Amino acid sequence: MFRTASRQFAATLWRSAENIAQIEAGYQTGINISRAQGIGQRGFIDAIGKTPLIRLNHISDRTGCEVLGKSEFQNPGGSVKDRAALYVVEHAEKAGLLHAGGTVIEGTAGNTGIGLAHVCRAKGYKLVIYMPNTQSQGKIDLLRLLGAEVYPVPAVAFDNPENYNHQAKRHAERLENAVWTNQFDNTANRQAHIETTGPEIWAQTNGKIDAFTCATGTGGSLAGVTRYLKEKSGGRVKSFLADPPGSVLHSYIQSGGKLAERSGGSITEGIGQGRVTDNLKPDIGLLDGSFSIADEKTIEMVYRCLDEEGLYLGASSCLNVVAAQELAEKLGKGHTVVTLLCDGAYRYADRLFSKKWLEQKNLLSSIPEHLRKYIVLE
């Protein structure tokens, strides 16, 4: 009886081993990725980057192109800004400007602050954030929850001394062992995308990429990815700016370098610009063109991405998707276009899926009737 039980147990083990081998064979890609990633010995910060590049199926099928989105919402802090946050802090450390127990100060409209809050907690620094008081209460609450000291201040133009960035700089100047990370003009931001985002996109497409597009706030993502892809491809990969209403960069590019007065605004947060930042300046001449994306197109894409792709994306991500679709149509069938899916909709749901807010912005009519089932908030 004992020998019979032993044989049955051995047979079960053999079948289990066979099943395990079949499972591993069927998931070899995931295993290879996990093996390459290994263990993040530095904790949170080692989880930044290395995000998937996914096919936007419905848009790809409609355009006849491969339209791909870099899933930056899968960064541990929830957005593409985790990359810049890490680089500006580590740049300050390497420059000897920031030491143990120090304070990081930044002016930010949201996601950079959230990325900095995570990085500062992981590294043991204090964080002070100045931001326009037009930002969502959800972002402010989250920053405070993550331990940041937050100062919402009136939204005024950059050339006004009371602009949130200038207030952040003055705050840093009053403290010892403190640094203003200056995300707009600190080129460590751009370097993050030259060294990480660009190489990831090239590797994930095996170099089979024809064009890249994204919006810009600080300019780091667009400039860094453009610089890398242009150099790696010998100039073959094209790069286009995606610009929201109220930003001057589309007109700057289309006019050959004339900077217009900024006017109007957009439902998007954290993108659009009234000047050429130091992050963008070295690479703006590499751009092959630009798209101006209306809010009406952006909000429709928020709902289309949710319904067609199963992607719960923020407005800036969906503006990028609209631009990628228009770029694919411009290039014609058979091309590969990549964009950034900057963050999810979680921080904006109280607006994007609110009937009252959509009516206030005159955007309700932009959402097709069959997609209005997702408007679940009053």
Task: Convert the pLDDT of each residue in 3-20 to its tens digit.
Answer: 665 666 555 655 676 688
Compute the residue count for the chain. Answer: 378
pLDDT tens per residue across span 274-293: 899 999 999 999 999 999 99
- Cα separation of 241 and 113, whole Å? 24
Please check whether residue 230 is in contact with residue 211, taking contact to mean a CB–CB distance below 8 angstroms. no
Q: Which of 70, 81, 139, 238 does the annotation list as catalytic?
A: 81
Q: Alpha-carbon distance 304 to 241, whole Å?
A: 22
pLDDT digits (tens, 9 = 90+) for 304-344: 999 999 999 999 999 999 999 999 999 999 999 999 999 99
Token digits of residue 174: 């009053």
Stronger pLDDT, 345 or 17, i.e. the higher one: 345
> What's the pLDDT at 40?
87
Other CB atoms within a 10 A radius of the CB of residue 185 amount to 15
**In the block, which residue shows the tokens 């400007």?**
97
pLDDT at residue 254 is higher than 70: yes
Please give the angle made by the CA atoms of 320, 321 and 327, to the nearest 5 degrees.
Answer: 90
Using one digit for the tens of pLDDT, what is the confidence trace for 20-66?
Answer: 888 788 888 888 888 888 898 899 999 999 999 999 999 999 999 99
Residue 198 is predicted with a pLDDT of 98
DSSP letters along 150-172, please?
Answer: EEEE----TTSTTSHHHHHHHHH
Helix (H, G, I), strand (E, B) or coil at 318: helix
Catalytic, 355? Answer no
**Domains of the chain in sequence order:** 46-74+191-374 (3.40.50.1100), 80-180 (3.40.50.1100)
pLDDT at 29: 82
Strands (E), the chain: 53-55, 66-71, 103-107, 126-132, 149-153, 178-180, 211-214, 238-243, 289-292, 336-341
d(CA 112, CA 81): 5
Q: Is residue 157 very low, low, confident or very high in pLDDT (cuts 50, 70, 90)?
A: confident
Which residue is it, tokens 């109280």? Answer: 350
| Phi and psi, residue 309, nearest 5° | -105, -10
Residue 12: what pLDDT? 61
| Backbone phi, psi, residue 103, to 5° | -125, 135
State the pLDDT at residue 75. Answer: 98
Q: 297 or 158: which carries more pLDDT confidence?
A: 297
The whole-number average pLDDT for the span 111-123 is: 95
Query: Residue 302: which residues within 8 A CB-CB, separation 6 or more?
Result: 313, 314, 315, 318, 345, 352
